[in-house]
Chains A and B, each alone.
Chain A
C-alpha cells in the first residue's frame, strides 16, 4: 500500500501536468495550484506518518493539534510565494489558494478511498466532498483572501500572514476535533458549509456590485461622448 500512494500521485499528476501548456492563461494558474496541492498532500502524508510515530501513535492528539499545523503551513507556502512575488490581486489569490486546497483534498480523499475501499459509502463520499474538501479549500482561501489585505503595507505582511495562518490552523483543528467525536461529528460536517455559504454570498454580491459600477461608468462615458459629438456638430 505504501507504493500505492505514488501510483495514485502519478495517475493524477501527469494528466494535469500535460494539460498546462494547452489550457488558457486564466486556467493555467488553477491547474498549477491544483498540482501543487496534490504534491503537497503527498508530501504531508509522509510527514504525518513520521509525526504519528514521534507522538507514539496518539492519533487524537496528532490529528487535532499537530497535523492542522503542518498541513496548513505546507498548503499556504505556495500561495504566500505567489502573493509575494507575482500578484496581490484578491480574486487571483482566492482562486489559486482555493485550487491549492481543493487539489490537496482531492488527493487526500482518493488516497483514503483506496485505503478503506470496503467501508466506503455514499454518505462517506458526501461528507468528504461537502465537508473535508471544502474545509481544506476554505482554510487555504482564507490565507489567500487575507494576503490581499496585508500586502497593501509591507509592515503588515509578516504579522498578518502568520496570524491568518494561525486562524486557518485553528479552524482546521476545530473541524478535525468535531468529526472525530461521535456526538458532535454532524456539527463538523456542517461547519465548512456554514462558513462557505456566507463567503459565496459575499463574493457574488461583491461581483454584482462591481459589475453594476462598471456598467454605470460605461453608460456615463457613452453619454458624455454622445454629448461631445453633438456639441461638435
Chain B
C-alpha cells in the first residue's frame, strides 16, 4: 500500500478518534462552546482526510486537480478561528493599550506563515493552482496562527482561561505549519515530504483533543 495513503489513514484515524471523543464529551447543550468548535474542527479534518483516502483508494489523484479534501484543512482553520476569536478572545483582551505588547508579539506567527508561503509556493515556482490554494490556506493560517500565538503569550490575569489552553494552542500552531508544508509538497508532488508532513500532521491532530480536554477540565477545578 502507498505510504502516502497510509499517512492519510493515520491522520484520519487520529482526527476521527478526537472527533468522536469530543462529540461524546462536548457536543451537548451547556457545554464549553470553545471545545465544541474544536470538536467540529476535528470533524472537518476527519472528513477531509476521508475524502483523500477514498480518492486514493479508488485510483484517483489528489495532487493533479483541486479536491474537496482541501476543504478539510480550511474548515478546521475556520473552526480554530471561531473558537479562539469568537469564544474566548474578548474575555481576555479588552483592547486597551495595556496588552499592546502581546498583540504585537502575536503578529510574528502570521508573518512566519506569509514568509513560508512566499518561500514554499511563490519562490519555489509551484503550479498556478497550488499557488492559489496555498494562498487561500495561508490567509486562514494568518488569522488562526495569530490567535494561537496570542493565547500562548497573553498573561490572562483575570479569568485564568487561556493559560490552561496554552499546550493546545502550541500544538494547533504547529498543525497550521505542518498543513502548509504538506500543501506545498502536494503542489510539487514531492512524495517524501508529503508522507512525512502528513504523518506529522497526524501526530499534531492526535494531540489536539487531549489538550483541549485537559484544558477545559482545569477550568472547572
Contact = CB atoms under 8 A, between A and B. Distances in A.
A68 B78 CA distance: 19
Contacts of A202: 27
A163 B79 contact: yes
Nearest to B86: A156
Interface stretch (B68-76, B160-168, B207-215): B68-76
Contact of A163 (B28, B67, B75): B75
Interface stretch (B46-54, B100-108, B114-122, B170-178): B46-54
A206 B31 CA distance: 14
Interface in A169-224: 169-171, 173-174, 177-178, 181, 183-184, 202, 206
B75 A170 contact: yes
Interface string A139-183: 000000010011011011001101110110111011001100101
B51 A170 contact: yes
B44 interface: yes
A84 interface: no
Contacts of B33: 149, 152-153, 156
Nearest to B72: A170
A159 B71 contact: no
A129 B47 CA distance: 23
Contacts of B41: 163
Interface string B65-92: 1111101101110110111011101100
B68 A170 contact: yes
B69 A170 contact: yes
Nearest to A155: B86
A206 B29 CA distance: 9
Given A156-B87, A164-B40, A150 B82 contact: yes
B78 A163 contact: yes
B51 A166 contact: no
A65 interface: yes
**Chain B residues touching A, range:** 35 or more
B55 interface: yes
A61 interface: yes
A64 interface: yes
A160 B82 contact: yes
A37 to B, nearest CB: 22
Nearest to A187: B54
B86 A159 contact: yes
Given A163-B78, A163-B79, A167-B75, A153 B86 contact: yes
A90 B30 CA distance: 13
A152 B37 CA distance: 12
A113 to B, nearest CB: 27
A184 B55 CA distance: 11
Nearest to B36: A149
A159 B79 contact: yes
B40 A167 contact: yes
22 contacts: A65-B66, A65-B68, A68-B68, A149-B36, A152-B33, A155-B89, A156-B82, A156-B87, A159-B81, A159-B82, A160-B78, A162-B75, A163-B41, A166-B78, A167-B40, A170-B48, A171-B47, A174-B54, A174-B68, A181-B58, A183-B58, A184-B54
Interface of A: 61, 64-65, 68-69, 90, 146, 149-150, 152-153, 155-156, 159-160, 162-164, 166-167, 169-171, 173-174, 177-178, 181, 183-184, 202, 206
